[in-house]
Structure 1
Amino acid sequence: MATTAQDKRRDLTSGTISRTLLLFALPTLASNILQSLNGSINSIWVGRFLGEGALAATANANLIMFLLFSAVFGFGMAATVMVGQAVGRRDLNAARVAFGSALGFCFLLSLIVATVGWITAPAILTALATPGPAYDFALIYLRVIFLAMPASLMSVMIMMGLRGAGDSITPLWFMILSVILDSGLNPVFILGVGPVPAMGIAGSAAATAVAGYVSLAALLVYVYRKDLPLRLRGRELAYLFPSAAQLKIIITKGFPMGLQMIVISTAGLIMIGLVNREGLLTSAAYGAAQQLWTYLQMPAMAIGAAASAMAAQNIGAGRWDRVNGIASRGMAFNVLMTGSLIILMLAFDRPALALFLGSGSPAIDLARHMQFLASWSFLLFGLTMVLFGTMRANGVVFTPLLILIAALYPVRLGFYHLAYPTLGADAIWLSFPVGSITSFILAGIYYLQGSWRATKLLVPPDEEECREQTNAATEPTGRMAPTG
């Protein structure tokens, strides 16, 4: 069989490691930036038009939604892997079965989570010690966002499925549509334009809801008009009701990734609860800083996912001679890219933070202080992601999870509780680099020790599995939903 140009681009076992890795990572980086840009634009509208209280409210609500999305997202990631593997062996019906099962299962879960979340939203915000001036904002915003959750989740699931089937262009176009609608409707609904009444913070959430349902409807119309491979017709619609066998696979594969995301997002909720106890200005400053930290993670996510997928192919091909090179080049790219971003962000942090808080906000100096203490930790985060990704390429999943749990809970939170009496709120910001140093050292020790290489796999994880596992290991920062 002749080798196509696409097959050659997919072959990560030959060619110069540096060039192959970089070219493979750049599209993922662009997609991740676009997905996060939407949240940043919305935060700019909220912070500039409605003030610190509203911005603090969205920071609280977004972390809660990240946790709830995470409870469902791991199963969608598992389905993406199943779709990719089925398409790879040319079994289109199996791909549709996996895709339909994931859609049906995750839609039901999203309805349950959204309903329970709507009811318990006041208790959740109280447990997080949401500052009084931000509480009413947060409750309104969070409850309207809950209405958008099923549409947002289904859109992401369909995009993940299409990507698993090898189509990365269609998801990109509809992600662009969603970003344009959401960011464009935010000022219209917040301030009120023409016949549209001014809705304040509810308007920002309503814009997200409208963008979610419109882009979902448009995506479904496109899938069926173009008769894309994963569309379900006639008897295939029964795939939306997953069988016990399908559920077992989705849950078994999805649970480790979902658990990892829940562990990370729960740690984020604990941190924001500690931040909220410092008052409204600190909460608003933290919300603005989180938006910038979202972008500091982007190189780590893209390079980590690319290194993992590339290592998986080389392990499967028996090219262990290239694996160390992939890890070392990935770490070097992270130092270069993330380090450059950190330098730029710290050099121009005041105007960047003013986008969210307004140039006269007293929270800017506080946010700058957080940036200087914590931002450099994302350099170590990127190095850890490459090491984790390389080891996951050989099927090692639980050791990275245990390292993350240790770094986020006994180390990061333990440092906070020990240092707070002396350092005050600075103990929160310094706990980020303390946790990152710990995870990097533990990951490095385990990588160099080498036992992860001894794992025997009948089938190495494929490209999509490596990508999704890496996405499941990122900090929530300022995003409402995980990267998908």
Structure 2
Amino acid sequence: MSDSTNVARVGAKAGRLDLTGGAIAPTMILFALPTLASSVLQSLNGSINAVWVGRFLGEEALAATTNGNLVMFLLVSFVFGFGMAATILIGQAMGRRAPQDARRAVGTALGAIIPLSAAIAVLGYVYAPPLLDLLGTPGDAAPLALTYLRIIFVAMPTGLTFTLLMMALRGTGDSMTPLYFMCVSVGLDIVMNPLLILGLGPFPELGIAGSALSTVIGNTAALIGLVATIYLRGSPLALRGPDLRLILPDPAVLRLMLAKGLPIGLQMIVISSAAITMLSLINREGVATAAAYGVTQQLWTYVQMPAMALSAAVSAMAAQNIGAGQWNRVSAVTKWGLIFNLGLTGTLIAVLTIFDRAALSLFVGRDSEALPIGRHIQLMATWGYLFFGVAQVLFGTMRANGYVIAPLLVMVVAMYPVRLGFAFGFYPVLEADALWLSFPAGMVATALMAGALYLRGGWRKVAMTPVGEAAQGGVYREATGSCTPGAGVEAEAGCYRAAAEPGEMRRAASGAAAAGQP
């Protein structure tokens, strides 16, 4: 029995979807809904934690967690981009029915991210105070933020490994297993949070440290369960026997992951660095405004969730179809992603606009000074997420083919000349409103530039294409040049070469022709 046949049977048993066949719209919904549910759970977890912190520890503690979480987002951005590059390679490998390439990708990713995240954890613990000083964290919130941030840093290797494995499983077409273990992580976090914050029952009273520790406990338990399930279900990502050596990063795969993952990570860093600059401006408005902004961010996570889930679904579906050489389905995948985004994101924005007071009062008391400020921020800025969703879907499609440099440049322009330029330029006239309006200004600019890139079509001509399991053991190279067989490995860097069977060569060649490649 062939390896690809085994993969198909195991996939059916494990609940993985075939993203390369059948009707696109229902397949996208079936794949995206568990991803969306995972995002809802993750955000609900953060929101409930914010409720505990805001209600029991006060606005200073809430501002502390906002500052601490933003620092974490900045520092893990590169690792996220690296994991996304691995997910694309896994998706394309599954589309070609080449599970060995998928295992090589996940092994290289794990072998690189685990020691890297450990190093970041050590450095982050040591340098947490100057990081918070750089943010201009309000004085009352700084000690709490330091405690919170250091505990999260210590747990970073576990959290990042958990995230990477969930992303990798989605690359195989399995979005249900990550949902199951997100439920485990969130459930434990929600239960442990008040117990450790308040010291209920036999648990010690840890304050804000208890909030961070409950997240650590949830992620660790979920990671152990996820790894066990990967092996018990016979996932194509399970490394057994000789495949255990794949945990040692393959240099060629690692180079490609870095080449594609670094720009994706830099996109996140551009966003977070602009957000840090914005937060430093918001912190100058006082603790009440900083707390109001933190609460509004909790609501914004829900508004952007459909777009992020659809972007992940579009990217996974496009990657598998590109790997299978089915370029005619890629445009349809993008179209349905845009349609679903407009419907889902638009509905959420409307609901939040109508029920903003009730939503915001979940985090702060109805007599809190932060409540009216939060309502104003929400009204001024939330509508921009409709354009955010359009950009994310288009970027998801282009990213699936390894097109990452131009989207990075788009984010640089949108975040700095547009968003920060708007905030600084109009602040003397609009005061704090310039800060809030700068968010939709940046999102609209991002959507317009992303649309121009997509329609221009250059993203179809630069691909993350695996050479396959040839004599050199499955090397990935970027396919951008012409094919010159017999001229040596380096000269053949632009060729689509067969991996395990001749059909893969034909599928890749047909994909190149459909994309307009030489």
Closer/same/farther in 2, CA of residues 425 and 191 from structure 1, 3 Å limit: same
Report the count of equivalent residues. Answer: 456
Cα offsets for 1:392-423 (capped at 9, x unmatched): 45553322221111010111101111111111
Using a 3 Å threshold, how does the CA distance of structure 1 residues 407 and 420 change in structure 2: closer, same or farther?
Answer: same
Q: Percent same amino acid at aligned positions?
A: 53
Instruction: Evaluate the alpha carbon distance shift between residue 125 and residue 196 of structure 1 in structure 2; reply closer, same or farther with a 3 A threshold.
Output: same
Q: 1:171 matched to which residue of 2? A: 178
Asked if structure 1 preserves the Cα contact closer than 8 Å seen for 2:311 and 2:396, the reply is: yes
CA distance in 2 between counterparts of 1:95 and 1:361 reads 51
Match of residue 461, structure 2, among 455, 460, 466: 455
Q: For CA contacts below 8 A with separation 6 or more, give which structure has more relative contact order.
A: 1
**In structure 1, what is the Cα distance between the partners aligned to 2:150 and 2:159?**
14
Q: Indicate yes or no: 2:107 matched with 1:95.
A: no
Counterpart Cα distance in 2 of 1:163 and 1:303:
12
Kindly state the Cα deviation for residue 444 of structure 1 after the two structures are TM-superposed.
Answer: 3.2
Residue of structure 2 in register with 1:259 after alignment: 266
**Given that residues 60 and 140 in structure 2 are in contact (C-alpha distance below 8 angstroms), is that contact kept between their aligned partners in structure 1?**
yes
Cα offset, 1:241, TM superposition: 2.9
Q: Which letter maps to 1:116? A: L
1:368 partner amino acid: R
| Partner residue in 1 for 2:495 | none
Structure 1 residue aligned with 2:18: 10
Q: Does 2:406 correspond to 1:399?
A: yes
Amino acid aligned to 2:191: G
Q: 3-state DSSP class of the match of 1:124?
A: helix
Is residue 428 from structure 1 mapped to residue 435 from structure 2 by the alignment? yes
Tell me, yes or no, if structure 1 residue 412 matches structure 2 residue 410: no
Using structure 1 for the length normalisation, give the TM-score: 0.85
Q: 2:301 aligns with which of 279, 289, 294?
A: 294
* Counterpart code for 1:249: L
Indicate how the Cα distance of structure 1 residues 74 and 326 shifts in structure 2: closer, same or farther if over 3 A, else same. closer
**Higher alpha-carbon deviation: 304-313 or 39-48:** 304-313
Aligned equivalents of 2:110, 2:319: Cα separation in 1: 27
Counterpart check, 1:146 vs 2:132: no
Whether the 8 Å CA contact 2:28–2:314 is kept in 1: the answer is yes
Give the distance between the partners of 1:236 and 1:21, measured in 2 at CA: 32
| Counterparts of residues 328-339 of structure 1 (less than 5 Å) | 328-339=335-346
Q: How does 1:277-288 map to 2 (within 5 A)?
A: 277-288=284-295
Q: Distance in 2 between matches of 1:242 and 1:393?
A: 22
Contact 2:349 2:383 in 1 (8 A): yes
Asked if 1:39 corresponds to 2:46, the answer is: yes
SS at match of 2:165: helix
The residue aligned with 1:361 is: 368
Query: Matches of 1:110 and 1:390 in 2, distance apart?
Result: 28
Structure 2 counterpart of 1:206, one-letter code: L
Distance 1:253 1:403 in 2: 16
For residue 11 of structure 1, report the CA deviation from its aligned partner: 4.8
1:441 and 1:242, CA in 2 relative to 1: closer, same or farther beyond 3 A? closer
Residue pairs, 1:24-423, within 5 angstroms: 24-226=31-233, 228-233=235-240, 236-310=243-317, 316-319=325-328, 323=331, 326-393=333-400, 395-423=402-430
C-alpha spacing 1:94/1:438, structure 2 compared with 1 (3 Å)? closer
Rounded Cα–Cα distance in structure 1 between residues aligned with 2:63 and 2:281: 13
Displacement of 1:21: 4.3
- Is this contact kept in 1: 2:107–2:249, CA < 8 A? yes
Structure 2 residue matching 1:10: 3-state secondary structure: coil
- Cα displacement (A) at 1:174: 1.5
Contact 1:48 1:355 in 2 (8 A): no
SS in 2 for 1:194: coil
Provide structure 1 residue ranges, at least 5 long, that are not aligned to the other structure: 461-484
- Aligned-residue offset at 1:46: 0.9
SS state at 2:238 partner: coil
Amino acid at match of 2:252: A
- Superposed CA RMSD: 2.9
Taking structure 1 as reference, are residues 78 and 438 closer, same or farther at Cα in structure 2, changes over 3 Å only?
closer
1:442: how far off? 2.4
For residues 262 and 17 of structure 2, the distance between their equivalents in structure 1, rounded to whole angstroms, comes to: 31
1:443, distance to aligned residue in structure 2 (A): 2.7
- Please name the residue that 1:467 is paired with: none
- Matched residues in 1 for 2:459 and 2:211: separation? 48
After superposition, the C-alpha distances for 1:117-154 in whole angstroms (9 at most, x for unaligned) are 11111101111011111111111110111111111111
CA distance in 2, matches of 1:284, 1:8: 42
Distance change in 2, residues 1:317/1:375 (3 Å): same
Match of 1:475 in 2: none
The residue identity in structure 1 corresponding to 2:326 is: A
Assess, with a 3 A threshold, how the Cα gap between structure 1 residues 263 and 366 changes in structure 2: closer, same or farther. Answer: same
Q: Which has the larger radius of gyration?
A: 2
Q: Deviations over 1:359-381 (max 9, x none)?
A: 32110111111000000010111
Q: 1:46 to 1:8 in 2, by over 3 A?
A: closer
> Alpha-carbon deviation of 1:95?
3.3
Partner SS state of residue 363, structure 2: helix
Q: Which amino acid in the other structure matches residue 309 of structure 2?
A: A
**Comparing 348-357 and 217-226, the one that deviates more:** 217-226
Q: Distance in 2 between matches of 1:235 and 1:326?
A: 37
> In the TM superposition, what is the alpha-carbon distance from 1:294 to its structure 2 partner?
0.4
Say whether the 8 Å CA contact 1:74–1:254 is kept in structure 2.
yes
